[in-house]
Structure 1
Amino acid sequence: MVSDQSFWKGKNVFVTGHTGFKGSWLCLWLHSLGARVTGYALQPPTDPSLFACCGIGSLVHSVIGDVRVRESLTQALAEAQPDIVIHMAAQPLVRASYVHPAETYEVNVLGTVNVLEAVRAAVHQGIPVRACINVTSDKCYDNREWIWGYREQDRLGGYDPYSNSKACSELVTAAYRNSFFHPDRYGSHGVAVASARAGNVIGGGDFAEDRLVPDIVRALLRRETIRLRRPHSVRPWQHVLEPLGGYLLLAKKLYEHGAAYAGGWNFGPDDSGAETVLAITESLCAAWGSDTPIIIEGEDDVHEANMLKLDCSKAKAELGWHPKWTVKQAIQHIADWVRAYEAGCDIQQVCLRQIDLYGGI
């Protein structure tokens, strides 16, 4: 089991980006483990949203705010008195970063600076923050289109504004760790800082625009043709609970063992999870029981990587973390979630059942 209820019960956890897709799943999971969660984020980015469907606002102390506003973020974090900070707030879309590059850098880079500054301020006030995780992306690496997975020590880069902003966020995290939270001086500051790089996350409750699985789901529900831009691009697909389980395990290790676990960590699927866009589309159509037509459209002039995989040997060896669900299982859980949503079921209970099935409660 990736989560430990005896550890999380009563822990104060500060989560940025709690109104988003991943943040909502994480808050529900933490609440089910008995943690006291404070969330800080903008209003949910979509309507409908998983945040609203699950009633997350009634489970956590929800603060609506912008990570670009340092003063309000610092105040919210101080008032939460957190033991653990998990920073997930972001502009999360590659294609949106071409339309709004400056905003992408402001949120993803300056937002990281502001979170780490808020942690610094909390430590100076005597607030016992013990662990801080900055969640970035598999796209933070300098992508050479390799057929093997990127490791934590490989070069950071990023071609597009989104990917590059995540590499910058990683560099900011490393600079703050070296300058203010150095592992060699852990005894004086008491904060262990890490970053987490996840693969392409999929799951029920993602309503984002211009993202593969939500676009497929919308087409299936509307009985519309599915249109693909880059059908042969390979990504490391994983159910949302996989990396979230990794974050929870990493946070526990950071809290209990401090500097020994500071640094960067990959959380991605095994090689079998590296599938093409077309394969994922066909699998979801099959799980849904649909013969919806798929049209391959010509690629536009926006650059996107063709091949991306992660090497997660470090997390497996040092954290004992391993992927639990295959891509096929992840797709089936998405189809089950969407059917339940369409049938008007209690979505909070649907999500809790999937967390329990994963082994998280």
Structure 2
Amino acid sequence: MTQLFDSYYAGRRVFVTGHTGFKGSWLTQWLLLLGAEVTGYSIGVPTQPSLYEPLGLSGQIQDVRGDVRRSQDVQTAMAKAAPEVVIHMAAQALVLPSYADPLTTFETNVMGTANVLEAARHCPSVRSVVIVTTDKCYANNEWPYGYREADALGGHDPYSASKAAAEMVVASYRSSFFDAGNASGKRTGVASVRSGNVIGGGDWAADRLVPDCIRALAEGHPIIVRNPGSVRPWQHVLEPLSGYLWLGALLARDPATYGGAWNFGPNPESAVSVEQVVSQVCQVWGGAARFETATSAQALSEAGILRLDCTKARSQLGWHPVYDMGEAVHQTVTWYRSTMEDAGRAVPLTVRNISDYVQAARAKGVSWAPMDRGGRV
């Protein structure tokens, strides 16, 4: 697996914030398989249960506990790790908690991003910085077409607004400090990445659709759905992570070409309604779709339609999605079902999911996963 992404990550030092979260755990596991030396920086394990703990990642990396809101702590940790690649994923990542605690959301997502960038610009070893935001950073006008990287930023809820503001911070730091070179005189590539609504095994966050479905199905309860008609760009968690990793490698080699904002979303047909996702999850689980529409969240503003246009990543990076919606749901629900029956399956199943995804990517000819020398996938 070390030959993926132009073999860039084998032996490289990578600093990952938010490594204990759902996406962060998948990313950390993949980086280890690629041969990277990972330092993780996180305030703690965000959920119980979690994916991070069953994977046993803390014993395989430098596991640093700290808050991205504390600038000096971030700088100290990054300087000690001396990474070549920084991937910033730490965030307050949910819409509903942003209404309950908007200040923490803005502090974490805006100032936390600024603190990571400030640490990176003072760290001479850093060659590329990938800042993870969200598809919700766009000013959503309920348009039927996918949003492109040049479209206006905005957000009605505190979470979306905080991520739009983080995008502005990234653009400012890139043009003010990184395009001209860092303290060592070497240029560092900086990019922001915007993925769709990710699904995958090991997400146990509250108020997220698939984890809510799994909990309800396992307990025999109806699934509570806030907005069944809302349309989102659903994708398996490994889809955007492949984009982040590929971009991190390319940024280090050509900051001018690959800096900027990038969408990593699914194919257009995978942008479906919440109700359709619930139905597919229940079908794979093996039960009838029973859901009730919540009433308590009706006063909270959430976009009705959201799609991403990934033409830029397709044309300039050679990146494109591997799984359709059906396969993404199958991989996800199968992971949950298997690990709930036997928690010891978490590691081998997660590693196998990554391996299966790589094989499927090679078969589809994506740029970051070339055939081996014998022409095999």
TM-score (norm 1): 0.96
Name the SS of the counterpart of 1:180 in structure 2.
helix
Q: Which amino acid aligns with 1:42?
A: I
Alpha-carbon distance, 1:231 to partner: 0.5
Aligned length: 357
Match for residue 113 of structure 1? Answer: 114
User: Which residue number corresponds to residue 131 of structure 1?
Assistant: 128
Question: Considering only aligned residues, what root-mean-square deviation do their CA atoms show, in Å?
Answer: 1.7
Question: In the alignment, is residue 268 of structure 1 matched against residue 269 of structure 2?
Answer: no
Conservation of the 8 A alpha-carbon contact between 1:183 and 1:260: no
Contact residue 3 and residue 248 of structure 1 kept, 8 A: no
Q: Which residue is equivalent to 2:302?
A: 304
In structure 2, C-alpha distance between the alignment counterparts of 1:229 and 1:173, rounded to whole Å: 32
Q: Does structure 1 residue 290 correspond to structure 2 residue 291? A: no
| Aligned-partner residue type, residue 7 of structure 2 | S
CA distance in 2, matches of 1:186, 1:195: 21
Equivalent-residue separation in structure 2 for 1:186 and 1:198 (angstroms): 31
Partner residue, 2:355: 356
Give the counterpart letter for 2:339 in structure 1: Y
* Amino acid of the structure 2 residue aligned with 1:358: Y
Task: Quote the residue 2:150 is aligned against.
Answer: 153
Q: Which residue of 1 aligns with 2:55?
A: 54
For the residues of structure 1 that align with 2:245 and 2:264, how far apart are their CA atoms? 12
Are 1:67 and 1:73, in contact at CA under 8 Å, matched by a contact in 2?
yes
Equivalent in the alignment of 1:70: 71
Match of 1:43 in 2: 44
Q: Which amino acid aligns with 1:350?
A: L
Structure 1 residue runs without a partner (length 5+): none
The residue aligned with 1:317 is 315
Letter in 2 for 1:201: V
Change (3 A) 1:5 1:56: farther
Distance 1:292 1:272, change over 3 A: closer
Q: In the alignment, does 2:344 pair up with 1:343?
A: no
Is the alpha carbon distance of 1:42 and 1:186 closer, same or farther for their aligned partners in structure 2, counting shifts above 3 Å? closer
Residue 227 of structure 1 pairs with residue 224 of structure 2 = yes
CA deviations on 1:16-60 (whole Å, 9 max, x unpaired) are 000000000000000001000000001111011100011111121
Q: 1:245 corresponds to which residue? A: 242
Q: Which amino acid aligns with 1:318?
A: Q
* Structure 1 SS opposite 2:201: coil
Q: What do residues 181-239 of structure 1 show as CA deviations (whole Å, max 9, x unaligned)? A: 12699994421110000110110000000111100000010011112121000000000
Structure with the bigger RCO (C-alpha within 8 Å, sep 6+) is 1
Alignment identity in percent? 48
Distance 1:350 1:240 in 2: 14
Q: Residues 56-94 of structure 1, C-alpha deviation per residue, up to 9 Å, x if partnerless?
A: 111211101000011111010011110000000000001
Q: Structure 2: state its 5+ residue gaps.
A: 360-368, 370-377
